[in-house]
Structure 1
């Protein structure tokens, strides 16, 4: 692997919430731990330790079902403030190797380490250093994928979990051969609906898609999706860290079959919508800064209300708290025909926007190791004596 080869890492913490609880509570180590709602309450599993996963327990499973699958499981309430604090420690480790970090959620991120290789070694070496730093500083484990692009890096990080390190081929022929036998559902962007369409065309593996006629694919999926999938199936992904997304908002709404006035039913439906939006945010790697409520009454009059939150969020606890506050403020004792929950002002980090702006402001201190790496500067001592460029000097 040449030092100049573009190299991405995808770092994914192993059973993050549950692992933090086991770290902080030694009596939980080696036991099936479930983070989320208690088994005797309505709610779902937020995370499950690997001991619990052996019983078929996974995130988003109703806690009641999880208890049936593993009666001796230990249920622990979420401690989001603690998880966020640990996440910040981990993100700081990433930033000590490269300034090009793109968090996908509280427990995973992409790193572009292309410019860091002349300081820290090739992609595999940097991945090993990061895994060691995480284990030493947080007593937690992470799985890392090393690849020439983001799609392949994310795919690789899931190949040897937990506590794994996977380097995929960097040569085009080898990449296509590696992908060919994988189920089509492993490809980025292929959800249940798209997978069903592809299966109807006889496409069950990524290799099948590699051989499929793109014009026929366009007829089923549309031109944009067909073009994207025809490249991804060959391991081609040209996205870069920091590139903007077209998705500016994520929302869900439902129309009742009959107008509803029962507040309990309205709230239950609304909470379900909130949880669906939260899951979509986390899957897409976004945090929301604005929360929306949409209500349509039986006479078809409609209101839309919104509120901003100071710290971007995608966790169910925050989204429910803010969403329910909006609902309690604006719900009236009248029949409801439609209810919706939405988020906008999406960002790829949970840092406040004022802080995000500061991160990209011209630095007044000498380059750090990661900044020097990005600039291609050799710095044996880890810092450069070259002052940072002024705003007018930046290209």
Structure 2
């Protein structure tokens, strides 16, 4: 961990962004840029929840993110141990830096850990991507979302359904701001860099192909689930070449279940942001259990089959290209999708227009100008 020393002549209106995992970085990039353009003093903290090059460092290079001011280097571990390490590191940092506001992103352990520490220190909290709900408390991410939203002073939502959820949970409407999706800002800003042709050349793809990215505990942690998952993915590979950028989580279990044995299936290491979305852009379909991929395929017009019983992003189904499927039905649904081909026109969710970062920065700027006196608590 870097030395946590106070910088000289630090202004009082300091905003600290806390990121920790691969999904956070495309969400943070446009917010940091927009606040920087307004002259807001900022620091970027990377907790190190995702820490290797493919899962973290490449994002800083490709998205133009500043080098983190602090890297806590917490690494992997159980949810409790990882969150505890994040909290102890952030407590020291927040006490020394005395930020006016911390901004957290998404639903990872770094998000809820930062929110808990800030709330107990009386520091204001902004949550980007607030209000998403799967209503499945067996998902650690769902617990993280609910807790973070209850503690936050500013809640930035990406879709209208999120506003409804927060209202049902008693969040005052004046805290909630419908701004659109900053991850889509990043996608649109980099759209010209997503080359399907380069992806085909790099991976030796000559015809129609499918991309599969799978890592959720419900799919890979139990050997029986992993075996069913492999069978389902192999059913897709029977229909078309299938490329699997394999997350480190669950890799050994999926390999043991026989994932690598199909001759129409290519397993590759995780890709950088630009390379991954170039691969997705050229795909006939994507199979995933990731939340962010549901949104990215919605914008790119790529049919997405989500191997989960629920999604916290239903707008990708009502206003996008996403569909929930079971492992048992994946093969025949994929067959239907491949036979139908990609559509030329599809609905896009409201305010997914590349300007969410600007809207967030407007709200944050106004909040900092009229924030409560230091020392306010959360009850």
Report the TM-score range of the alignment, normalised by the length of the smaller protein: under 0.3
Q: Which has the higher contact order (CA 8 A, sep 6+)?
A: 2
Which has more strand, going by share of residues?
A: 1
Q: Which has the larger radius of gyration?
A: 1
With normalisation by structure 2, the TM-score equals 0.24
With normalisation by structure 1, the TM-score equals 0.23
